[in-house]
Structure 1
């Protein structure tokens, strides 16, 4: 099960109130929702759901939260997912005992925020394209390089940075390094513009010979490729849950509009054409939900399948949002309903956690090899 209907019904009212009250006092959608983050931690202890097992990012309760929040504030869901998948999960799953003791509880309580950097602006067919390096020193490591896209970046206290290391035999290994963002040599770039998910800041970050302690290597081992593939897989499932939440939010907003009587005396939904169109959209939403729910059967054996789920659920979120705009846009200014925001958020999710085109390329590769 990937969605707990009982839990969602119990949480729905409280979640809506918190988000509504937040927007009443914060008109700037681009502001990082730190205050709301603390409220969710205090009221729901949301990240403690991740501590039960090493695969806990996939806990039904956590996915239910993410999906439910996305119906009203997808960017905030992405902030929560970033902290979970790019901070808590990697250290909980791969960290040394000392790293877990130092970081996990503060991350869960929101006392420190985390981000993760692997992209350098190039298509990553393999880790060989990574230019960021960690050089071994007498006391630890010296990190140099640049990551082009890091979520939550300038609000983070620690970053997990994927770097290349030349081993004693001359070959290169890859590992994640836990970097305190206050260390000398760490510099954040300007906010990167994106179509949606306002409130989720994205920046580049540069490392100029940043001195790190010896125990900053995640798990104290160069296991970066395995770690990255696993982390991205978990993130893509979370993004799929957000996409379904966006689809639901757009669909429910549109349905509520067409069920209200208009000045011509009848609700739009009384017309057969609207009934059929909304039936088609609902069927598409149900198909995306069923596809997402099937991940448990194939996830461990087929990482590409997880990417396909992310590709499809984001595509459905975009299509449902676009169709709702087409159906009710001429009758209602988009300023009065948030459908346009749903569409922008869905398009941004489509390029987050490996873009749709990079996933399509991976899918097509199996036929090119034949």
Structure 2
């Protein structure tokens, strides 16, 4: 649930008398919470930047007047040694990728050179990190056009590892941006927003929302402070230490009697039910009849056929056939193709 503060205002009626008669002027007065939000968002945004590397963007924030910037490691993992940072007024400057946190911590530090008087954000303490406390997220969600976006919410949970779960809305592109308390201090670094599964009318999974679940995560400020101490002592890595995962592949079938030998192991793509899967795709024609044979003597093999379609909202996936005989023998599936592009798992 997204909680928003400061949308209720009140009007104060002031009466003024003039020589031309009596009149009333209505003055809109802000609530204290609205004033608080305005101060935090406007002041905080001066020290928040967009981080660009030519392939995408994320967010970051300045922590020293001479140009140290904190962001997520995954924002600049694989980036060149120099990236571009964009201030809230649109000004762009280069920044060096100085290094990454050790131990797989999702933090990196950048440096704008030859600067001595940049706006900064202060790091807060643990006393301002409590469930129910008001928080603000500033960054560049989705597109560079949304630079300097400030959202607000509440801390909804403190996880066992200290990570902060909150309801301030974040999206892809917010990664590396600050989570602020009501005093405008950094209490966390936003790095992940939970995605909601989207189903069609037949309860088929058709995709995920970019965000909107109200479950968003930020690394706690204590880890930022520890990382900055390591930066000053030069105890940082030249490359990202984030865990490396096997990149899932999608093989292409030619539909001419081709035989594929596959295997399943740790690191392979995982289905919604937790099972390991191999994914293949092929180009079909409307009305074409197709026979697929699948056999295994080691696992209980399941064969599922999905329809993949493109729309203005993005790629949609719909299950159209499935065969699971519960024993490891040959599976055969016959169907008529009803679309131009199909994929099966």
Mark yes or no: TM-score above 0.5.
no
- Structure ID, larger Rg: 2
TM-score, scaled to structure 1: 0.22
Higher strand share: 2
**Greater relative contact order, per chain length (Cα 8 Å cut-off, separation 6+):** 1
